[in-house]
Chains A and B, each alone.
Chain A
């Protein structure tokens, strides 16, 4: 089974804040991590490979430093990593990102199953997975909480819904996006880390994947961010004091609207 996982490098949530005075992103010590959902997508791919054979390719689009998440992916069981990186990709929204990833996947091979995280924690859009499936004309299912079986050229999965789940069967090749509940990712083995250090990670440019200029980066993005600002601060905050009973009474006083 040939598997491909899309992995995004994202800033660690706890570091990202707007400076309230200047209204700019505070960048002090913003660390980059592998998008948490993608870690689960990767783990699922590695488990499917272990059960059914094949290879796992990790793919990321991002600046040169995104190579780090691909090495991490190899340490956690991916066979190879491919980075698509080009200044021309800068400013891509999800429309341009799904285009670029689709071109890249066409360039590097053919796959039975593509796995994405449910969403990336920087934008929380959850759009790239379904967008990529649309571009590659693949059947897809989002928010997969369990893969049940791979049989007869198809895969059976549980798709998390708002009120329970659906059991869905779809033919391969296909694309899935996964939620955290699907598995518990492993920690990299020593051998994996060694392999990751030595791995050769090819970098593909816009020209390498035959991307059209009008479809990538800012120019290829239908959306524009026109303003960023801090959320409105919460009104007056009150930390009550006194005995439990006194505090509860004060709270009830303030919550009258809800009671």
Chain B
């Protein structure tokens, strides 16, 4: 609860100014808190009269935090390979582990995955916890969740990182809930606070309009999912040595209520637009499938993949997994080329964290130019083929 000390309050209105949610009004010279208060605390910080306090209820009991040690990375395995984000997690995990002076471990559940351990060690893991069982051949929420939960309870790592992929974002919240652990989704930055070793988790909120830093002061493990492609992958060192710990999971934890009847890998969706470095995206301006053929060519020249605005997906020119934006995917490639996309906010929130944004649009007032690094004003049917041709020439 946010409490106002009426004796202290001087009615200056600084808190009313500050409150992003319009939850405070000054009435008769004293601040009054309304229902839209989210306890963000920003008013407390600006109050010079020190009249505002956030009162916490009984709260959770602080656990023995020192019992939890080490940094863990969930190694996601699907369709015969470890997801690339795993190596990015090992890269950042290594840095965090060294800062803390603790080991870095990878957890590898799957079936027939033993062969991957060496690569995980080469990428920085000191230990690989291997759970190799036929029951894990397909991803099923409940089984994967229980395996991770059991391992975490047993070995008590202080930090658990997973990729913010379809699987990571599905299984990790369940585990965090049962462990009573704090979980931050979709982090783009991770750091250790010197001193107490708290994990500082930075992530975009409100579609990237705001960045927030989040910590878990009283609970362990500190859990986070991390967006693919924002962290640099670890440089593999084949000479590194590490230990493989094979863990047996009790059979009752491996039974599932969920049955996977079929797995369909779609030809056009084999590239996950969240995991490529270059995206060429098309919108309504492409006018149809023919337009998409143009940007596909450009994407190929650049070694990238094709994405789209909702307008293009709704028109049926390309499938939904390619949609970028609020109701599609959030991407942050190194290079994003938007062709015939106006740059509506619902689209922008899905791509504005890209390192470099190029906009090609014939309307010089299109909002996409406000978020573009480089803007080309012109007809895309002229510009895109020209660009593809010149890049091809250059490569020769």
Contact = CB atoms under 8 A, between A and B. Distances in A.
A151 interface: no
A163 B84 CA distance: 13
A230 B210 contact: yes
Interface in A217-252: 217-231, 234-241, 244-245, 247-252
A63 B35 contact: yes
Interface stretch (A10-18, A43-51, A103-111): A10-18
Contacts, number: 315
Nearest to B261: A167
Interface of A: 11, 13-14, 16-18, 22, 24-27, 36-37, 63-65, 85, 87-88, 90-91, 93-95, 98, 121-131, 133-135, 139-143, 145, 156, 160-171, 179-181, 213-214, 216-231, 234-241, 244-245, 247-252, 254-255, 258-259
A219 B57 contact: yes
A166 B260 contact: yes
B391 interface: yes
Contact of A127 (B54, B185, B274, B349): B185
Given A143-B166, A238-B373, A166 B263 contact: yes
B375 A167 contact: no
Q: Which one of A85, A128, A162 has the highest number of Cβ atoms from chain B below 10 Å of its Cβ?
A: A162
Contacts of B386: 244-245, 248
A124 B328 CA distance: 11
B27 interface: no
Interface string B18-51: 1111100000000000011111101000000000
A228 B212 contact: yes
Given A225-B214, A227-B212, A258-B302, 12 more contacts: A16-B209, A95-B180, A125-B186, A129-B173, A134-B145, A139-B141, A139-B142, A141-B141, A161-B167, A231-B204, A240-B374, A252-B394
15 contacts: A27-B22, A64-B35, A88-B1, A95-B183, A124-B186, A126-B173, A161-B78, A164-B269, A167-B261, A223-B214, A224-B216, A226-B215, A228-B212, A231-B211, A252-B387
A142 B35 contact: no
A164 B358 contact: no
Interface string B46-65: 00000000101111100000
Contacts of A124: 185-186, 204-205, 207, 330
B140 to A, nearest CB: 8
A164 B263 contact: yes
B91 to A, nearest CB: 20
Contacts of B373: 234-238
A162 B376 contact: no
B161 to A, nearest CB: 15
B245 to A, nearest CB: 26
Interface string B361-391: 0001000010111111111001100110011
A180 B320 contact: yes
A133 B375 contact: no
A252 to B, nearest CB: 6
A259 B37 contact: no
B374 A251 contact: yes
A166 to B, nearest CB: 5
Contacts of A140: 141, 174
Nearest to B364: A239
Q: Which one of A17, A64, A167, A224 has the highest number of Cβ atoms from chain B below 10 Å of its Cβ?
A: A224
A contact patch SS: mixed
A241 B377 contact: yes
Given A213-B58, A218-B54, A229-B211, A258 B20 contact: no
Contacts of B290: none
Q: Which one of A65, A217, A251 has the highest number of Cβ atoms from chain B below 10 Å of its Cβ?
A: A251
B368 to A, nearest CB: 11
B392 to A, nearest CB: 10
B196 interface: no
Interface string B269-305: 1101011001000000000000000000000001000
B181 interface: yes
Given A24-B18, A139-B258, A259 B165 contact: no
B266 interface: yes
A27 B19 CA distance: 8
Interface string B177-196: 11011111110000000000
**Which 9 pairs between the two chains have the least Cβ-Cβ distance?**
A25-B20, A222-B182, A91-B39, A219-B57, A239-B375, A127-B173, A130-B173, A223-B182, A125-B185
B383 A247 contact: yes
Given A142-B170, A166-B264, A238-B375, A130 B38 contact: no
Nearest to A241: B377
Contacts of A65: 35-36
A22 to B, nearest CB: 8
Contact of A134 (B42, B174, B206): B174
A163 B270 contact: yes
Contact of B57 (A88, A162, A224): A88
Contact of A18 (B139, B210, B264, B369): B210
A214 B6 CA distance: 27
A244 B215 contact: no
B259 interface: yes
Contacts of B378: 244, 247
B127 interface: no
Contacts of A165: 263-264, 266
Contacts of B264: 164-167
B390 A248 contact: yes
B376 A248 contact: yes
